[in-house]
Amino acid sequence: MELRKNYFADVRKDDLHEIGQPRPRSDSPGHVTGKTAFFADRSFPGMLHLKMVRSPHHHARIRSIDTSQAEKHPGVVKVLTAKDVPHNVYTILILIQIGPEDETVLADGKVRWKGEAVVAVLAETERAAQEAAAKVKVDYEVLPAVFDMEEALKPGAPLVNEYHGQNYYLYDSGECRKVRFGDVEAGFAGADHILEQSYQSSPIEHAPTETTGCVVAPEGNDRFTCYTNTQAMFFTLDNTSIILQMPGSKLHFVGGTVGGGFGGKVDVIVEPIAILGAKLTGRPVCFVYSREEEMQISSPRAAEKVVIKDGVMKDGRIVARKVTGYTDAGAYSRHSPYGAQKGAGHYPGPYTIPNVWIDTYCVYTNRTPSSAMRGFGVTIGDFALEVQMDKLARLIGMDPLEFRFVNAYRDGDMKAHRQPTEGAALIECMQEASRAANWPVAEKYMAMSSYRKGA
Amino acid sequence: MAIRRGRGVAAINYPTGMNLGGDPTQALVHSTPTGNFMVTLSSVDLGQGMKQIMAQICAETIGVPTDRVVVDTADTDTGPHCMGTFASRGTHRAGNAVIQAAREARQVMLEVAAEELEVNASDLETDGQGNILVKGAPQKSISIFDVALSAHFKRGRSISGRGMFLIPRSYPEKETGAMKPSTCYAHACTVAEVEVDDETGEVTVLTVKNVFEIGRALNPKMVEQQLVGGSWMGISHALYETTEPYYPNRDHGGTDFNQYLMPGPGDLAETEIIVLERPSADGPYGAKGPGEMCANPQIPAVANAVFDAVGVRIDTLPITPERILRALKAQAAN
Amino acid sequence: MAKVPVQFTLNGSEKAEFVESGTTLLNALRDKIGDTSPKGGCHQGTCGACSVIIDGELRLSCLTLAETCNGAAITTTSGLAEGGVLHPLQRAFLDTFATQCGFCTPGMIMAAKVLLDHTPNPSRDEVVEALSGNICRCTGYEPIIQAVLTAARANSQNAA
Amino acid sequence: MALALQTFPTVKDANAALKAAGTRYLGGGTLVVRAANEGDVSVSGLIRSTDPALSAIAVAGGKARIGASVTMAAIARHPDLGALAKAARAVGGPAIRNTATIGGNLFAPAPYGDFAVALLALDATVDTEDGELPIEAFLAKRDDSRAIVSSVRFTLPKADGFRFLKVSRVKPKGVSVLSIAAVLERAADGTVSSARIALGCMADRPMRAKAAERALKGKKLDQNGIAAALAAATEGTAPITDPIASAWYRAEVLPVHLGRLLLA
């Protein structure tokens, strides 16, 4: 890695003692000796293992659940169903007033995705829990499922989630989050060329080497200590408090050493049910996702569809950009309504475009609920935007790198969401890339700056 | 058979933080009797090295070496609230909270030192090595060790501070979408060079040259870790990863590391990382959040390079050999 | 549930325990013996985080039943440092900043140790092959490859 | 029922124990222990044998007999099995190769079982208490096979007569898109006098590319000579679709990779 200090030297002081120094990481000695304690490195005498009975169907009504054989299985201590969960219908973003509550901790009457948690089995050993889970009988009436976002938005599509009432998240702005800036149709009308293209992704897993999980120990004082690899301690504690209708003061969360997160450990999934198990049995409880669960049950990065329509001039200026983004939330909201609206705030990318129209939708389908991941709301959009930029440049016969200089945002430029640009550095990154990759651009671009005089 | 070569570029920016939800983080700092400093947080270290960075930020602010700072974090009984580690917010939000707390603690420390040295606190400075000096008269000094002892056992002062950094929630305006979705933005530009086997659709990423602008590299080696690993993940996203290979069909989802594809140690592109620093106005020592954005520009850069190599556009991720081969066959048929 | 005796040396010291038949070596080491340096990343044999060395061979403790290890000599990452002095591989992982979250690190070090025990001066390709059964999601592998090459160089310098 | 492992000194005793319901033979563990770890509760009894014959490698008179418990690593490093080292090293990473056995590989479902593809091309035979069976016949009925495989026998290929290719997305270790093993003999004029070509992932288990074999007979290993074989390569295949690749893709690239292997 090279630090290029010649850029922005005029706005930076390089006289610090500790900042900017390549100090050794204080946690590494623990890592290389195997001494670092991850949550699963704690075990307690009498600890129970929790295994989840999951839906084999993408969408089904639950006619009945029979746990009697599982309860009699040797080694089984407790079997939990929806009725055991004090506040079974929840949504994590309710803490920042993004509702409605739309997800069940344990399925109640219906399952909406293949893999949804239905019954929790707590037993003395993992094997006993697995054997008992196989004995839980659930009678399902299979319902039509929808997997394609466009199909889901059509009238008459199977309704995925009754708590929403339609297969999209209803923002205060309506069926989508909107950004309107300038007059996009006038921009298209005056453009030399129009290019409309569609981009698609499929779900992506964080795939941390350590799977999601927690170990819960009941303390003698009516409190519960939860060793967890959550990415957000109080987010998890406060949601658990709501789900279990238990004062937060009864909960003690210990974490902070996580075997990779990448956004995959911000959902509140394992902790509430494990703590409930510990509360109802008085025993320590361990609930750790198997690798298969991590890969297919834990929330992935959402699949997205992005449609971009651009109006561009022969000289390279983009004069109008319309973006329609669809985020495949799967069966429940989790963080997806936030991600979709974060996308609305990110488009049209780091370019100054006078006429912009953005609609971003959060769509429900019968698949594993998606949630946050590294680059949440932005990564797939950037793929779409930057491939579109390449196509536009070739359409008008410009060098793709030079084309970006023409449109790059600079300090003071007004963004579509009506914030002036501050601290821009796109131009300098491109100038340095031009040098590093031996991709020459015209001298006028190498002479550009993100600064604007007087800005 | 032809191995065809191409290159592509992409440029991106990335927002720091979770403004649309309201974004607070708190920190507490206090000294021990012998002048070591404890930072108490509830932020989570996912492996990106938050604990180390918070120690360096606290050390810089107090004016002691980093090895005199201990970070106690992610215990809800002791650490004050943090929204969480996501949205590239950890360094920025928690770092600002630590600076505020450390400044308050530093002020008490200087006041105690001033009493010991019989000067005004405003005339004192730290040398970064654990000593407090009178500005312009460095021979007149006291160690932070002695100041902490004095504070604890003689002056009855708590060398401590509280930090709270809140980005208030921005509510998007319903009709126009006017909002403040982020604080500062990090930037990147990546040039990728690939080879495509036009008989199998297999892609080899030969080189990626990444330029990242991240505000301030608080610890350059740790920044390098993030950026190198992120660049790998970006290539991985571009060419390999998905839980639903036949999306929207739900069948054949991978359940292990054999089936969930990511580049192995034999698939690594020659990776160049260049870092620029335009300090952000609101970041801790100018830092922005580099953790997420570093994995983004490789995806379109690789996609554009594939087009440059073989003349087909793959607008669906991941850009698998199958998608390329199908496109090449369609191209040949036309 | 039938318990069976297991007896082996772990990092040079004798261990004897009773475990349920069918218990993996990984679970026996972690839950019974208290050595949590091998990590359970998949329990499928696909991630390498549980790697240990059994009688000089790299093995996955999640696929190995504890009762099949009677009489074996087992090495784990927790046993590498001698008298508080880090093994050259551990030192190299620190110096090259080859750890991030740290979960894969003990397994990586095991895989690398077996390599260097047999091939003190490996080529880059040999290092890549040796690490090929171990997943890392943070680093992009390059720093880990560099750590192993650095340790090999340090070894050969010490030997010279 | 809880899991329990029983160990027997002879294959015969182990075979007898396998008659009990809910039992499965434990080879290296890459399939069976994994299944147990993942919650497959259909198996409660694991049976293994420490019979020394299972771990023996005997090479004499151009023939090899490899005990079923011999690992991929042991094959890869055996001085007399150098021709097969590439195929043995194609299985997993180093730790898996120290665990995975030749016997177990015969049972590994696609996309696994790359070494069995090599054995099929070698026209190996498989020994069980029921006698010696040609590998093709063994593979066809492996799902119903209860008898322990004790060893595998084959004639060692002539130097340079054995070719092996594994195509995977992830390097150096990844599971197969497909694998190809070929045993080729050539006449003095360079034409192919006999060919056995085996394919992995082109069906749910290793299979022979018999049409391609026929088309190769009497031909030179050059672009023209192999053309008919490549055109016939997918005949009779039913490639798997999995997270690695679709059946369509496997069928499309099989001739490409076969061609590269034959021309190499």
Note whether C70 and C121 are same-domain residues. no
What is the tens place of the pLDDT at every residue in D179-209? 999 999 999 999 999 999 999 999 999 999 9
What is the tens place of the pLDDT at every residue in C106-121? 999 999 999 999 999 9
- Average pLDDT of the residues in C61-66: 98
Which residues of B have a catalytic role annotated? Answer: 292
Asked, colleague to colleague, whether B3-16+184-333 and B19-167 share their fold, the answer is: yes
Check residue A453 and give its pLDDT: 66
Query: What percent of chain A is modeled with pLDDT above 70?
Result: 99
CATH code at C107? Answer: 1.10.150.120
| Whether the predicted model's global pTM rises above the 0.90 cut | yes
For residues B198 and A415, is the Cβ–Cβ distance under 8 A? no
Note whether C117 and C155 are same-domain residues. yes
- Average pLDDT of the residues in B76-98: 94
| Interface contact flag, A31 C30, Cβ < 8 Å | no
Mean pLDDT in chain D? 96
C160 band by pLDDT with thresholds 50, 70 and 90 = low
Residues of C in contact with D95 (CB under 8 A): 45, 48, 51, 58-60, 111, 133
Distance CA B264, CA C133 (A): 9
For residues D248 and B322, is the Cβ–Cβ distance under 8 A? yes
- Ranges of each domain in chain B: 3-16+184-333, 19-167
Query: What percent of chain A is modeled with pLDDT above 90?
Result: 97
Residues of A in contact with D3 (CB under 8 A): 127
Tell me the CATH class for B3-16+184-333: alpha beta
- Ranges of each domain in chain D: 4-49, 52-155, 162-263
Distance CA D185, CA D125 (A): 20
Among C21, C51, C78, the domain-final residue is: C78
Put simply, whether B130 touches A (Cβ < 8 Å) is no
What is the tens place of the pLDDT at every residue in A168-218? 999 999 999 999 999 999 999 999 999 999 999 999 999 999 999 999 999
Q: How far is B161 from chain D (nearest CA, A)?
A: 50
| Interface contact flag, A207 C137, Cβ < 8 Å | yes
pLDDT tops 90 at residue C156: no
Domains of chain A, earliest start first: 48-142+207-296 (3.90.1170.50), 177-204+300-446 (3.30.365.10)
* Domain presence at residue C83: no
Put simply, whether B322 touches D (Cβ < 8 Å) is yes
For the record, the structure tokens of D104 come out as: 């177990």
pLDDT tops 50 at residue B81: yes
Check residue B1 and give its pLDDT: 62
Q: How many Cα atoms are found within 13 Å in the side-chain-facing hemisphere of A60?
A: 19
Radius of gyration of chain D (CA): 19
C1 band by pLDDT with thresholds 50, 70 and 90 = low
| Tally of domains in chain C | 2
Task: With H, G, I as helix, E, B as strand and everything else as coil, classify residue D4.
Answer: strand
Residues of D in contact with B321 (CB under 8 A): 169, 245, 249, 253
What is the tens place of the pLDDT at every residue in A352-385? 999 999 999 999 999 999 999 999 999 999 999 9
For the record, the structure tokens of A168 come out as: 């999209």
- Residue C20: count other Cβ atoms within 10 Å of its Cβ: 19
- Among B71, B18, B75, smallest CA distance to B42 is for B75
Please name the residues in contact with D33: beta carbons below 8 A apart, sequence gap of 6 or more: C24, C45, C62, C63, C64, C65, D26
Task: With H, G, I as helix, E, B as strand and everything else as coil, classify residue D157.
Answer: coil
Q: Mean pLDDT lowest for which of B148-152, B167-171, B222-226, C35-39?
A: B167-171
Residues of C in contact with A265 (CB under 8 A): none
Check residue B73 and give its pLDDT: 93
Note whether C118 and C144 are same-domain residues. yes
pLDDT tops 70 at residue A235: yes
- Residue D137: count other Cβ atoms within 10 Å of its Cβ: 11
CATH number among 3.30.160.110, 2.60.120.560, 3.30.590.20, 3.30.390.50, domain D162-263: 3.30.390.50
D160 band by pLDDT with thresholds 50, 70 and 90 = confident
Domain range for C99 is: 88-159
| Interface contact flag, D38 A290, Cβ < 8 Å | yes
Distance CA C10, CA C81 (A): 14
For the record, the structure tokens of A397 come out as: 């016969």
Check residue D2 and give its pLDDT: 83
- Average pLDDT of the residues in B147-166: 98
* Domain presence at residue C61: yes
- Preferred mutation among D34, D41, D242 to probe A, highest tally of A CBs within 10 A: D41
pLDDT tops 80 at residue C159: no
Burial class (CB in 10 A: 0-12, 13-18, 19+), A374: buried
For the record, the structure tokens of B95 come out as: 């770092």
- Contacts of A240-243 spanning 24+ positions with Cβ under 8 A: A240/A268, A240/A271, A240/A272, A240/A275, A242/A87, A242/A90, A242/A94, A243/A85, A243/A86, A243/A87, A243/A88, A243/A90, A243/A105, A243/A268, A243/A272
pLDDT tops 70 at residue A454: no
For the record, the structure tokens of D126 come out as: 């498989």
CATH code at C24? Answer: 3.10.20.30
Residues of B in contact with C44 (CB under 8 A): 256-257
Asked, as a colleague might, if the bond just before A348 is cis with ω within 30 of 0, I would say yes
What CA dihedral angle connects A397, A402, A404 and A408, to 10 degrees?
Answer: -140
Q: Could you tell me how many residues make up chain D?
A: 264
Among C28, C43, C78, the domain-final residue is: C78
* Domain presence at residue C125: yes
Note whether C104 and C51 are same-domain residues. no
Fold of D52-155: 3.30.465
For the record, the structure tokens of B227 come out as: 């950026």
The 3-state secondary structure of B148-182 reads: HHHHHHHHCCCCEEEEEEEECCCCCCCCCCCCCCC
In D95-114, the residues whose Cβ lies within 8 Å of chain C are 95-96, 98-99
Check residue C155 and give its pLDDT: 81
CATH number among 3.30.1510.10, 3.30.365.10, 3.30.70.580, 3.30.479.10, domain B19-167: 3.30.365.10
* Residue-wise DSSP of B216-229: --SSHHHHHHHHHH
For residues A275 and A224, is the Cβ–Cβ distance under 8 A? yes
Check residue A455 and give its pLDDT: 42
B36 band by pLDDT with thresholds 50, 70 and 90 = very high
| Interface contact flag, B322 D242, Cβ < 8 Å | no
Which residue in the set A32, A125, A259 is minimally distant from C103, CB to CB? A259
